[in-house]
Chains A and B, each alone.
Chain A
């Protein structure tokens, strides 16, 4: 099938415009992080007057970025790992069993995705505060509370994507394992999981990204000690000054790991979405 000249040019124009749109903030982020402070205090310059890594050094002391980073890392990785473990079992049940309430479960879990976060925020805030007062387990303003909250955020989509993945694994493999005398757990761990590794990895990254990027609950549920990057990054703005070069440097540093992880695994996301969407 030949591409007409008009088509070729409209393709070039559209893709160029979209590229410019996408790249502009990335360009601003990268170049500004290399600027000395006075470059970001006057009119915007396209290039640093004198490229420097000073912002990457200073950003750690302007705000306790290290603590925020450790909090974010801890909260996001623990939430991601627990979330995936739970999702694997749930997806296995939904994919391989027919049971009463299967449909209800799938629909309910997915529909929690559509509820406004603000609806849970107020009650959850009060529940955590009161549960903490009653039991002595700190949930409000603690990393534990944040982990519990975040892992449920990624759960619905993780289950949905994993069900898609598991469904695409031929049941003949289960049967072969069963003939060998494997129980359900061995079937899951020795047959299904090894085949679904890309899906499981993609879901883990997704769960990590969800927790890493969450703002609303982090802004209410944390205090100075449990604060994550999502809130901490706003600390570079003081009453008199915004250290834009440091903000950009910090943004870059907190973005690179997740972006790299996502982009490396992008085709598994597409595969997972396709598996889910064709159902």
Chain B
């Protein structure tokens, strides 16, 4: 029987004195898989792995504009950058902590709303009706639009004097005065709306893919048992979507937490204090002050935080899956 298509690891053709006990596989087991992976590995090394190692190294250096030309000369700073970064009583640490909380709030709302929108759109588009495929296409459009084109349109909508939003608010008589949306306290909500607009189609896409695996008989059986809309959602749809949701929520969380593009384009290169997401905060404190050592320390701290959250999340969700 040929059930495995691949070579057993331990049976290397060149292993001396080790008679091949298993039948030879159909594909040469040699080094071919490694050769096939080589380009991918090299590029990942160059763009991701090495820079990450370098980043960690930079975070323990005193690396400012004076050392940038020849950064091998940069003096070793030990944990000084981390101390400055994480000291919540110092100015650097206080601002970082502030932007951390802004990002936590932003991510929580954005992921929650995107997931809810995606779920309801997915559920309501399960049943065929005229115009269904048109709606599906329309809902996916924001995901396909280049980020900057979409976000710059939102910048226009939010303009105080020429934007659609304030026009709508004054015409309907909701406000007399035209509020600012891209500076001050409103900017957080403005940013959040753009984020949801841009992320929920991805949630919708994944949930739609997941719903295709739910057999219609399950709904019919639930309906015969007298289950209404919410019961079907809770007892059939959500349990069936659990594997999709596990990945989807994690991916949305990581993307949103690291989001740089939305605030960068929306606010034109910087961000008001109330919407100062952590990526843009690190970017600005690195490239405006040219303090790369400190910027790297912040990035490493952010990475460690994300790793921790991911590990806990996977542990908890996997355990719940096993107990379910």
Q: Which chain B residues border A244 with CB–CB below 8 Å? A: 156, 159, 162
Q: Which chain B residues border A212 with CB–CB below 8 Å? A: 146
Q: Which chain A residues border B306 with CB–CB below 8 Å? A: 114-116
A93 and B296 in contact, given A15-B121, A219-B264, A277-B210 (Cβ under 8 angstroms): no
User: Size class of A's contact patch?
Assistant: 35 or more
Contact between A273 and B27, CB atoms less than 8 A apart = no
A120 and B47 in contact, given A22-B141, A127-B54 (Cβ under 8 angstroms): yes
- Taking a contact as CB atoms closer than 8 A, the residue among B71, B148, B164 that contacts A28 in the complex is B164
A25 and B150 in contact, given A93-B32, A116-B302, A116-B306 (Cβ under 8 angstroms): yes
Contact between A184 and B27, CB atoms less than 8 A apart = yes
Q: Which chain A residues border B44 with CB–CB below 8 Å? A: 108-109, 112, 152, 155
A19 within 8 A of B: yes
Contact between A89 and B40, CB atoms less than 8 A apart = yes
Looking at the assembled complex, report how far the CB atom of B298 sits from the nearest CB atom of chain A, in whole angstroms: 8
Q: Which chain A residues border B147 with CB–CB below 8 Å? A: 213, 215, 230
- Taking a contact as CB atoms closer than 8 A, the residue among B40, B156, B229 that contacts A247 in the complex is B156
Contact between B27 and A277, CB atoms less than 8 A apart = no
A165 within 8 A of B: no
Binds B, one of A54-62, A196-204, A263-271: A263-271
Contact between A121 and B283, CB atoms less than 8 A apart = yes
* Distance in angstroms between the alpha carbons of A271 and B46 in the assembled complex: 31
Which 9 pairs across A and B sit closest by C-beta, in order of nearness? A262-B144, A251-B149, A123-B51, A93-B36, A123-B54, A44-B167, A98-B6, A119-B299, A93-B33
Partner-B contacts on A (CB < 8 A): 1, 3-4, 6-7, 10-11, 14-15, 18-19, 21-26, 28-29, 32, 40-44, 86-87, 89-90, 92-94, 96-102, 105, 108-109, 112-124, 126-127, 130, 148-149, 151-152, 155, 159, 171, 174-175, 178, 183-184, 187, 209, 212-216, 219-220, 229-230, 233-234, 237, 244, 247-248, 251-252, 254-255, 258-259, 261-263, 266, 269-271, 273-274, 277-278
